[in-house]
């Protein structure tokens, strides 16, 4: 900590070890020294007005002449503001700083501890492998991030930005020199050349790759963050949006893709990622891609969204048309709600979800062709099924709503046998209502609950009629009137 002690104790501040690296005036350095002493007294931040009053006193408001020095230190990146509202330093007036708390930055503390901020560049020697190359590139992205933060909070032309830009230029030059000396194949460098990616496109790709290696869901995936990373000012931010819009080279060439999500404020934000095939070729260049053929019956067993139905009842328990019953005797497998995975493919693929959906559909089409068994698929959304799937089913069986005779059989089967009924209970009247078997089953259950809550647990015809009306009013089938009802 000798540089820290030197900065605090040396009576001539311009002769301290770190002064030449601060690139600031003597008065600005004194402000930094005062903040350092406060920090060592466990006071992390200080209000600007109090800071200047302690240094310059309150007589004749002399301290007001020194607000510009605080603003300069903010722009240099040696101190930062702790404000609840976002402040752009270059646009701040002096009076806006009056009640703003400021604190030393980690960069300044590192300078105090190590005595220098000079970057240690890698030696000019060939890269041993692609991971060594990635290490340099990820350090490069960290410098881009630091510049973006300073530009966002301060001035685009501040000394803090210039200092990091000089480091970045040196690092990029050193990377080029090492690549020139490397004889073996560097996967990522070869990929950039094959895709002919521009420098800004490379930075976007590297930022997303850094996120993948760090295994986080950091903000580098967010569209505005990526644009800020490669933009020097507001004009460039507008211009560079084209690099991440639909139709850009990175998206059209399937190098990157994005997901759209609702943000907490009701808008839609895009989170970008590297396409899996590209990512695997970069992260595991020696690994051969294995083509795995899926068998439909194994897929059904392994995935939760599928189910092989093992019937616990026989067809004698179901009221069916005799021809339908005979057909079903020969069927062995059933996939319920086929529309969840056999629905129509998307014609205009606009998102990664659409692309994944179409890929899944193509797998099913191929596997249904090869499947040797008998497959049943059920749906009540026939219009949503892809025509390509429809052609692969030899028989399409429509289950129409039961007629009155069948409804009478369903009511007779589902009504409790030994329950007490009112005198004159007429089940044929119940069969006149156009209901499905599922609706009848639900009505019987709901009526039973209603009757069980009464003192006289007797089934009345009106109880069933009331539940029938509720079911028909609450059914999702058919059109509904929306609006106010006149009573």
> Residue 201 — very low, low, confident or very high, per pLDDT cuts 50/70/90?
very high
Identify the pLDDT of residue 359.
Answer: 67
Residue 36's pLDDT is what? 92
Model pLDDT, residue 149: 74
Dump pLDDT digits (tens) for 113-125: 888 777 677 778 8
Per-residue pLDDT of 236-286, as tens digits, reads 889 999 999 888 999 999 999 888 776 666 567 788 889 888 888 888 777
Band of the pLDDT at 205, cuts 50, 70, 90?
very high
Tell me what pLDDT residue 324 has: 65
- pLDDT value, residue 265: 60
- pLDDT for 291 equals 47
Of the candidates 214, 133, 134, which has an alpha carbon nearest to the alpha carbon of residue 179? 133
DSSP string for 166-209? HHHHHHHHHHHHHHHH--S--HHHHHHHHHT--HHHHHHHHHHH
Which DSSP state fits 340?
G
pLDDT digits (tens, 9 = 90+) for 211-221: 888 765 557 78
Q: How confident is the model at residue 162 (pLDDT cuts 50, 70, 90)?
A: confident
pLDDT score for 37: 92
Question: From CA 140, how far away is CA 178, in angstroms rounded?
Answer: 14
**pLDDT higher than threshold 70 for residue 420:** yes
Q: Which residues contact 294 (CB under 8 A, 6 or more apart)?
A: 363, 367
Give pLDDT, residue 482: 46
Distance CA 336, CA 390 (A): 15
Domains of the chain, CATH where assigned:
2-114 (1.10.10), 130-283 (no CATH), 296-312+332-390 (3.40.50.300), 404-474 (1.10.8.60)
**Are the CB atoms for 299 and 307 separated by under 8 Å?**
no
Asked if the model's pLDDT at residue 88 lies above 80, the reply is no
Instruction: For Cα atoms 471, 444, 405, give the angle at the middle one, nearest 5 degrees.
Output: 85
pLDDT > 90? residue 33: yes
Instruction: Identify the pLDDT of residue 454.
Output: 83
* Interval 347-353 mean pLDDT: 58
Interval 286-326: pLDDT, tens: 765 554 544 555 555 555 555 555 556 654 566 666 666 66
pLDDT of residue 333: 47
């Amino acid at each position: 900590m000798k540089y820290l002690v030197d900065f605090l104790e040396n009576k001539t501040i311009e002769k301290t070890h770190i002064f030449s690296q601060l690139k600031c005036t003597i008065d600005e350095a004194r402000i930094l020294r005062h903040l350092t002493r406060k920090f060592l007294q466990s006071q992390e931040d200080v209000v600007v007005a109090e800071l200047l009053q302690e240094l310059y006193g309150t007589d004749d408001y002399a301290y007001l002449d020194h607000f510009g020095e605080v603003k300069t230190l903010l722009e240099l990146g040696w101190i930062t503001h702790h404000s609840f509202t976002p402040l752009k330093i270059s646009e701040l007036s002096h009076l806006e700083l009056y009640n703003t708390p400021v604190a030393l930055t980690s960069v300044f503390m590192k300078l105090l501890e190590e005595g220098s901020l000079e970057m240690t560049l890698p030696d000019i020697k060939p890269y041993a492998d692609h991971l060594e190359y990635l290490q340099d590139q990820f350090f490069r992205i960290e410098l881009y991030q630091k510049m973006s933060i300073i530009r966002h909070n301060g001035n685009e032309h501040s000394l803090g930005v210039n200092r990091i830009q000089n480091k970045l230029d040196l690092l990029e030059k050193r990377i080029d020199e090492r690549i020139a000396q490397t004889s073996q194949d560097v996967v990522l460098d070869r990929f950039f050349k094959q895709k002919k990616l521009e420098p800004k496109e490379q930075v976007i790709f590297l930022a997303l790759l850094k996120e993948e290696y760090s295994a986080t869901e950091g903000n580098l995936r967010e569209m505005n963050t990526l644009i800020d990373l490669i933009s020097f000012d507001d004009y460039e931010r507008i211009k560079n949006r084209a690099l991440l819009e639909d139709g850009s080279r990175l998206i059209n060439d399937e190098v990157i893709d994005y997901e759209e999500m609702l943000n907490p404020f009701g808008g839609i934000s895009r989170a970008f990622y590297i396409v899996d095939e590209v990512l695997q070729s970069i992260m595991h260049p020696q690994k051969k891609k294995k083509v795995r053929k899926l068998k439909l019956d194994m897929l059904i067993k392994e995935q939760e969204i599928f189910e092989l139905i093992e019937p616990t009842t026989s067809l004698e328990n179901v009221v069916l048309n005799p021809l339908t019953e005979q057909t079903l005797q020969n069927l062995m497998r059933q996939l319920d709600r086929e529309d969840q995975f056999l629905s129509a493919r998307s014609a205009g693929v606009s998102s990664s979800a659409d692309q994944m959906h179409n890929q899944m559909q193509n797998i099913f089409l191929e596997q249904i062709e090869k499947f040797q068994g008998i497959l049943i698929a059920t749906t009540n959304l026939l219009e949503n099924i892809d025509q390509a799937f429809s052609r692969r089913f030899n028989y399409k069986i429509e289950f129409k709503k039961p007629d009155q005779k069948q409804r009478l059989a369903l009511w007779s089967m589902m009504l409790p046998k030994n329950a007490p009924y009112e005198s004159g209970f007429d089940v044929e009247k119940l069969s006149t209502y156009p209901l499905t078997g599922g609706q009848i089953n639900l009505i019987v259950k709901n009526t039973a609950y209603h009757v069980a809550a009464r003192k006289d647990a007797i089934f009345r015809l009106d109880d069933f009629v009331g539940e029938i009306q509720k079911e028909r009013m609450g059914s999702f089938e058919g059109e509904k009137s929306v609006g106010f009802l006149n009573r």
